[in-house]
């Protein structure tokens, strides 16, 4: 509710979790009308309840650490502005990651899955023994990669994915989007060879193309598209193998 001085009074309903117990706490605060949900939580932590646990760093949508569920939707708290016409906002931790305390979730498994797909360029075998420090990439290839390169590892796509939540062995949209990003990079020595390790039900074929991952991504990455492209490439590779067997 907006006041005459431009500030708003707001009820912030926060899901708290500590020592195995859930409870919802409601905090009444006043804020600048341009405040974000992260501002509201920091205001509570500074002025009302220092025991509230949250994770954040950059406060500008870059580090990905303030991901949580805001009014039922997975979002970044630092990029979500308070609705000045609303009386309240509800804040919960992400559901697709193990909960540690209050709004803080455990990302160990998330990063282990990401590391398992080697999200870095593996240099092509050098043709000569002379080591060059620059590996050039053509602009056309850059344009193909950019839409999948903006990932900030916030985990929101994993949280939104219904398959991750029902099939824990599914590697998940974020790691698969990175497989695609590196498999199409002309500088990468593995290239399409990156697809074989995820050509399985725990990999690309686990995706049911719900598309929730792409809808919630704050950086415009489209993991659902990436996975469908990986499926097409995996099918192409299988066809080529069959053709080459038939020729023998
Ligand atoms: S793909 Fe998008 S939603 Fe998923 S981790 Fe990366 S930035 Fe977050
Ligand atoms: S605090 Fe870094 S993305 Fe929100």
Q: Is 56 part of any domain?
A: yes
156 and 92 housed in the same domain: no
Residue 219 CA: which ligand is closest? 1
Domain final residue pick, 69, 104, 139: 104
51 and 64 housed in the same domain: yes
Confidence tier at 191 by pLDDT (50, 70, 90): confident
* CA–CA dist 81, 37 (Å, integer): 6
**What's the mean pLDDT when you consider all of the chain?**
92
- Distance from Cα 248 to the centre of ligand 1, integer Å: 44
Q: Which atom of ligand 1 is the closest one to the Cα of 156?
A: 3
Residue 58 CA: which ligand is closest? 2
pLDDT (0 to 100) of residue 131: 56
pLDDT (0 to 100) of residue 130: 60
8 A C-beta contact, residue 38 and residue 67: no
For 58, 97, 174, 181, 225, the CA distances from 144, given in Å and listed in that order, are: 28, 30, 17, 8, 12
CATH number where 67 lies: 3.10.20.30
pLDDT (0 to 100) of residue 143: 95
Q: Inform me whether the pLDDT recorded for 238 exceeds 60.
A: yes
Q: Inform me whether the pLDDT recorded for 118 exceeds 80.
A: yes
User: SS3 for 31?
Assistant: strand
pLDDT (0 to 100) of residue 52: 97
Mutation choice for ligand 1 from 67, 113, 152, CB with most ligand atoms inside 8 A:
152
DSSP string of 158-200, one letter each residue? HHH-HHHHH-TTS--HHHHHHHHHHHT-TTBSSGGGGSGGG-S
221-236 mean pLDDT? 97
Domain that holds residue 242: 107-247
- Distance from Cα 88 to the centre of ligand 1, integer Å: 27
């Amino acid at each position: 509710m907006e006041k005459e001085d431009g500030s708003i009074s707001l009820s912030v309903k926060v899901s708290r979790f500590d020592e195995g117990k859930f409870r919802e706490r409601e905090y009444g605060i006043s804020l600048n009308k341009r405040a974000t949900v992260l501002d509201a939580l920091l205001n509570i932590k500074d002025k009302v309840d220092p025991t509230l646990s949250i994770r954040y760093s950059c406060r500008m949508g870059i580090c990905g650490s303030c991901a949580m569920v805001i009014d039922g939707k997975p979002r970044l708290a630092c990029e979500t502005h308070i609705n000045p016409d609303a009386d309240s906002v509800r804040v919960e931790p992400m559901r697709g990651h193990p909960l540690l305390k209050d709004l803080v979730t455990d990302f160990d498994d998330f990063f282990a899955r990401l590391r398992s797909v080697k999200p870095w360029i593996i240099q092509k075998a050098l043709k000569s023994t002379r080591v060059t420090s620059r590996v050039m990439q053509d602009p056309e290839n850059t344009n193909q990669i950019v839409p999948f390169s903006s990932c900030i590892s916030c985990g929101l796509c994993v949280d939104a994915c219904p398959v991750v939540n029902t099939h824990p062995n599914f590697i998940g949209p974020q790691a698969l989007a990175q497989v695609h990003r590196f498999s199409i990079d002309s500088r990468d020595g593995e290239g399409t060879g990156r697809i074989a390790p995820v050509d399985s039900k725990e990999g690309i074929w686990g995706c049911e193309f719900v598309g929730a991952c792409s809808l919630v991504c704050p950086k415009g990455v489209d993991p659902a598209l990436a996975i469908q492209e990986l499926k097409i490439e995996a099918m192409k590779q299988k066809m080529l193998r069959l053709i080459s067997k038939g020729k023998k």
